[in-house]
Amino acid sequence: MNTAVVNHEEWLAARKQFLAKEKEFTRLRDELSRQRRALPREQVKKRYVFDGPAGKQTLADLFDGKSQLIVYHFMFGPGWDEGCPGCSFIGDHLDGAATHVNQRDILVAVSRAPRAEFEPFKKRMGWKFKWLSSAGSDFNFDYHVSFTKEDVEMGKLDYNYGGEAQPREELPGASVFYKDDGGRIFHTYSTYARGLDLLLGAYNWIDLTPKGRDEEELSFPMAWVRHHDRYGQKASPSWAEIAKSAECGCEK
């Protein structure tokens, strides 16, 4: 990166010029959020049952008296030993967010693996957020984050609204639901792939720096990310090894 070195007056002039663009972006982001809230919604008529810390709960139960529910689709498939490193990166942000979000709405994570399989990993990571299993239900498939072996083999993955998807049985996403006074539940929004970028507060901090994400020379974006207990290890496994052990496909 080659940038000019200037005196303070020139630096301040350039900074103020860029501030105008930042304010424009903020206004555009506010307008995009307004339009997101105004999107049509679809009623959820199927009954989904989850296994969580409080036992079996329906989708309606997850609202816990609130009217809005955010579900992070955490990539942890049946038979995995640990979660996807990318989803774990987001997982490291969930506890702090949930503490505040749950004062107004509810934020939970859901995976297709049985609870008994991801609870040891949750304990290892030191996470406290509510994490439930959708094992035995169509929830992950209906919200297009889990796919059958046949779909993967045939390349028929309805992921990110027809966008390009890695040929994997599990992929990440987030879905939002609303419950009205009559108890009806509506699906209002889902986002996938780079749409999850805003959930990564660490990246927002890194984006403020001169080098930014500095991922251009890496084999793929986020290749530097590890489970947080693996940073600094002398024999820290590569992302490809971690991803292979979790079958999450984040190595591409």
Encode pLDDT of 2-15 as tens digits.
789 999 999 999 99
Task: For residue 137, give the nearest of 114, 155, 165 by alpha carbon.
Answer: 114
Whole-number CA gyration radius for the chain: 20
User: Into which CATH architecture does domain 42-246 fall?
Assistant: 3-Layer(aba) Sandwich (3.40)
Q: Is the pLDDT of residue 249 over 80?
A: no
Q: Give Cα 94 distance to the centre of its chain.
A: 9
Q: Is the pLDDT of residue 24 over 90?
A: yes
Q: The tokens of 12 are what?
A: 């301040």
What pLDDT shows up at residue 251? 44
Q: Report, as an integer, the average pLDDT of 57-64.
A: 98
Residue type, 68: Q
Q: Check: CB of residue 48 under 8 Å from CB of residue 137.
A: yes
Q: Is the pLDDT of residue 106 over 70?
A: yes
Q: The tokens of 193 are what?
A: 């792939």
Residue 64: phi and psi, rounded to 5, are 50, 45
Q: Which of 98-107, 158-167, 203-212, 222-231 has the lowest mean pLDDT?
A: 158-167
- 122-129, long-range: CB < 8 A, 24+ apart: 124/82, 124/229, 125/88, 125/91, 125/92, 125/227, 125/228, 125/229, 127/91, 127/92, 127/94, 127/95, 128/95, 128/98, 129/91, 129/94, 129/95, 129/98
Q: What's the maximum distance between 2 C-alpha atoms anywhere in the chain?
A: 64
What pLDDT shows up at residue 246? 47
Q: Is the pLDDT of residue 245 over 80?
A: no
Position with higher pLDDT, 105 vs 1: 105
Q: Is the pLDDT of residue 209 over 90?
A: yes
Beta strands 106-111 and 68-73: pairing type? parallel
Domain-wise residue ranges, the chain:
42-246
Whole-angstrom distance, CA of residue 27 vs CA of residue 115:
42
Burial of 60 (0-12, 13-18, 19+ CB in 10 A): middle
Q: Check: CB of residue 90 under 8 Å from CB of residue 199.
A: yes
Q: Report, as an integer, the average pLDDT of 17-28.
A: 98
What pLDDT shows up at residue 177? 98
Position with higher pLDDT, 248 vs 11: 11
Prediction pTM value? 0.91
Segment 76-86, tens digit of pLDDT? 999 999 999 99
Q: Is the pLDDT of residue 67 over 90?
A: yes
Confidence class for position 250, pLDDT limits 50, 70, 90: low
The percent of residues in the chain predicted with pLDDT above 70, rounded, is: 92
